[in-house]
Structure 1
């Protein structure tokens, strides 16, 4: 690591303004009100890097959680990694990420996730593809579900806290879902310019079985109903969700929503008219291997042992041989073992999340393992396709 960079927290008003200016240039004002965004996330959650006392870049850390195998694992999201253009290529971004990861390890954080602008930078510090973020679209007139078993209750005024408990019920059962940072909730219910925003409980106010938050807007090619967030906990709620959307067909041309790459909601549609509009993959890093493996849940019927040999160029404590023993849905890690599955810390991420099977990672040349180890890892990390509904 080059010694010329100085890493610190964000404190002084002039630094906040300077970082806001860098973000504005990096993200082409994509954040909308950079200083307001910094204050929303909390000044204390930003990290900055200087060269010769000049502030040249920074990032945000969002402490939250992620659900793996039905258990919440603490995870820090990394957002808005920005370096002033005249300092790009100097190694500043890598130094900033290295310092941040060392700090997260010292704080005992097991996992970190981010959305990459370029994968190369983050792979160099141990991140790899972890799961999907997908936008779906369907023509409203093709939904064709009319039966609506549950009532819909408008939520006015819209206060995100009334949705938290329902959201957590769905999150617990959804591989990769976030235990959201408060700032993600805040931004979720902020309508964009020229958008009208609506919220409904699906079911009765006393016992809702889901909810839907959406906005409506017109584009040159027609009107769009954009679902910003949804929770569906029962079959009746799923049926009601679609029939409610179908009832908009006289005015709304398209419905858009976020879901998994393999969306089970679309199973209710009479034909395969829903299309994946766009998709990208977020990246995950195991910051503390022992904690990450011990804190998540595993399939309850499995009793197995996996002998790992891990290489981590940044965090020394993650290096070497480990035995993961899984029983009764929980894992225990001890040092040592035969090292039958050899891999870089990067490649542990898509195994951990079930994005790729160990077999496919071996075919891609990303790991080496004995047949026994590949088989054990496949059983231990079996899970549904991981996804996140939120971009951060």
Structure 2
């Protein structure tokens, strides 16, 4: 299938124009201007697929990192996968993804993540559910947190560098958080034509303990305050966050924010009045088994050895038996071993991210293993519910 198509970078002006038209049709201008979006991501970060000299589709690659077990793992996000309608069903999308994944492997990338329009396409090339993306909602009158232990300071001139250190403090402790690509920061802090972005540091300017970035919108269902981004590094910051949002109750009916499917922020609320308004799962692909397993962090109290047997029909370097030895929070991988836990590269993703336990993956028919291997994998891959605050 790959041989039917020509894979390349996006360079020629006519190719850029063709891809803009394809993305405009695929996403119904949801990107907010295809030319501006391509420029923001960088032309050099797009890949296209051709058939008979015509651009059949393309995608964007966002090189960044993702935090797993307190360690940053090199990750490439895949965005705006778009195929022209006349080429859908021709195998163009599969070929585009296969070429891209081979390129990422050659470049030394450990893992890749994306948000699927449909899961079936990406499962064919080795992606599987990796974590959650959720939007929570609460009526402002139900927050009922009044104590505000810290001051808030309005940030007039917004630059993401101001927030970067605070964000990284939270990211290191959050299973699945991104070490963000500059374009993701840009979309958080830069308003579109229809919104005003408000930004506050929580705490003093010299010693900030968090921040909140939000917009306000008037809808048919009332006024909504949407938190675009937040970081809270102390309990005082979390209490101030809720108190500040509650203070909007005379003008704002609902507050929405992004958080985990298991949201610890809601523990500060007096009642279970916050609800998940929107939820979906993003997908992960292990690109380089050895790098992915060695760069990830593990529970520091565990010393164990897991014998894996992995099948990868696309990236054959990942095929075979591996021994993962874990000690002092880090892992080391060697070839060989007994192959006591057998799984496809696709099923390694939700195990790697701790989205599902080995037991539940086994019950779902996603892996096979001895009782000892299942127990060992459960200890090694124990972790908080993985989630991402960013959609790309």
Q: TM-score range by the shorter chain?
A: over 0.9
CA deviations over 1:63-86 (Å, ceiling 9, x no partner) = 000000000000000000000001
Aligned equivalent of 1:376:
376
SS of aligned partner of 2:61: strand
Structure 1 residue 121 corresponds to structure 2 residue 106: no
Q: Find out whether 1:96 has 2:96 as its counterpart.
A: yes
- The offset of 1:194, in angstroms, is 2.8
In the alignment, what sits opposite 1:331? 331
> Are the counterparts in 2 of residues 194 and 217 from structure 1 also a CA contact under 8 Å?
no
**CA–CA separation in structure 1 for the residues paired with 2:357 and 2:189:** 36
* Cα distance in 2 between the residues matched to 1:195 and 1:361: 43
Q: Deviations over 1:74-101 (max 9, x none)?
A: 0000000000001000000000000000
Runs of 5+ in structure 2 lacking a partner? none
CA distance in 2, matches of 1:118, 1:236: 41
Tell me by how many angstroms 1:2 deviates: 4.1
Q: Please state if 1:275 is matched with 2:275.
A: yes
- The equivalent of 2:237 in structure 1 is 237
The residue that corresponds to 1:294 in the other structure is 294
1:142 maps to 142
RMSD (CA atoms) = 0.6
Give structure 1 regions of 4+ aligned residues with deviation exceeding 3 angstroms: none
Aligned residues: 392
Instruction: Please name the residue that 2:309 is paired with.
Output: 309
Contact 2:354 2:386 in 1 (8 A): yes
Deviation at 1:128, TM superposition (A): 0.2
Tell me if the contact between 1:143 and 1:269 (Cα under 8 Å) persists in the aligned partners: yes
- The 3-state SS of whatever aligns with 1:188 is helix
| Aligned counterparts of 2:194 and 2:8: Cα–Cα separation in 1 | 39
**Which residue does the alignment assign to 1:107?**
107
1:155 touches 1:201 (CA, 8 Å); kept in 2? yes
Match of 2:31 in 1: 31
> Is the 1:196–1:217 contact (alpha carbons within 8 Å) kept by the matching residues of 2?
no
Q: 1:16: which partner in 2?
A: 16
Query: How far apart are residue 197 of structure 1 and its match?
Result: 1.3
Question: Does the residue aligned with 2:230 lie in a helix, a strand or coil?
Answer: strand
1:192 aligned partner: 192
Distance 2:195 2:142 in 1: 24
Counterpart in the other structure of 1:263? 263
TM-score (norm 2): 0.99
1-side partners of 2:346 and 2:305: how far apart? Answer: 21
Structure 1, residues 153-179: CA drift from partner, whole Å, max 9, x if none? 100111111000000000000000000
SS in 1 for 2:348: helix
List aligned pairs for 1:47-126, cutoff 5 A: 47-126=47-126
The answer to whether the Cα contact below 8 Å between 2:2 and 2:99 also exists between their aligned partners in 1 is: no
Q: What is the rounded CA distance, in whole Å, between the counterparts of 2:179 and 2:62 in structure 1?
A: 11
| CA positional deviation for 1:32 | 1.2
Unaligned runs of 5+ in 1: none
Deviations 1:240-280 (A, max 9, x none): 00000000000000000000000000000000000000100
User: 2:6: which partner in 1?
Assistant: 6
Contact 2:23 2:29 in 1 (8 A): yes
State the shift of 1:30 in Å. 0.7
Query: Deviation at 1:134?
Result: 0.2
Matched position secondary structure for 1:261: coil
